[in-house]
A and B are shown apart, each in its own frame.
Chain A
Amino acid sequence: MKKVRRRYLYFKLHRDGSQIEEKQLSLTLWKSLLSLYGEIKAADSKLYVIDYDETTGEGILQCTLPSLQQVIAAAVVIGEINGTAVSFEPKRTSGTIKGLNR
């Protein structure tokens, strides 16, 4: 089986209100991806929140290279999480986590 290349996205989740837990964020990302692109694309994305700081809202998520654009689009159209208004800002993408920190 051909290995699917991964991409890492460094993001910041701006919020106007209470802190957003990693689990809530992950669930909302999945729901948005599922709603916009359907079950097959959502499954193929292999979306995973690797790191997330609830205080600063900064984090890293992982997905497959072909689904990167779709994952970002799905994240950007999220307007609120559990009643808290949010704005998702994609900062940097890289093929490695190390590359994000450079």
Chain B
Amino acid sequence: MTLWANALMEGVLLGGLYALFAAGLSLIFGIMRLVNLAHGDLIILAAFVVLSVAAWLNIDPFAATLAALPIMFLAGFALQYCILNRTLGRGLLPPLLVTFGLSIIIENGLLELYSADSRRLHGGSIETSSIALGHSIGIGVVPLLTLASAIVVILALNFIFYRTALGRAFRATADDLEISQLMGIDHPRIFSIAMGLAFVVITIAALYLGMRANFDPTIGPERLLYAFEAVIIGGLGSFWGTLVGGIIIGVAQTVGAQIDPEWQILAGHVAFLAVLVFRPRGLFPLPVD
């Protein structure tokens, strides 16, 4: 019984990580209908950036992430401004294929720079510390911090979206691109800010990815799939929905692994396909499409 409870608990905490993966993807799709196939590779790229900053400045991963955030914001802004904006408004293929090409470039660029070795972000004693719950269940501090960060990120994104002028501009642009220009909204700039913001979320996700487990340049696409599954399960356009979606994928994986370690990833995918079959619009669809 404790094993299952433990699996469930771990799944919920893993869901926090997947929600962080998903929030950035959801943000970008919500504002500019861009599905970024390089999202997973960008998370891995961010993990390597944090790794390098930590090594270079000789600081711990948390401080390195803080230092990396502005760089990553600018990188996201520049990527959108210089490349991705050119792909929008020209149909389905250009954004898909350009981000797919980007995904290949990032993965192989990282292989070239960092080799295929597994890496990890080392945070010292925090990595192994846990909070005991009863006599046989313990919660790792890092997984707990991951979930807490996911909640904080979602609160922050909701605040930006629904309480600030920038958020109004995001929503107005998503609603009606032509009319938003009449409000003096410079949409290439708005899209670039959104991508910069997504890169900030990606970098936070990368911190916890790198502290919880090993990573190497090739594991990006799988992270894209988890993020995507969480977004679809949650229903497009709701950040809280991505948290629920992330938790469902996380629990499916840990419970699947409890049955047979080889079923971990498969169980997550199957849970996603099941939601797709029974609730094709996700669990929390928007009232208006």
Q: Do A and B bind each other?
A: no
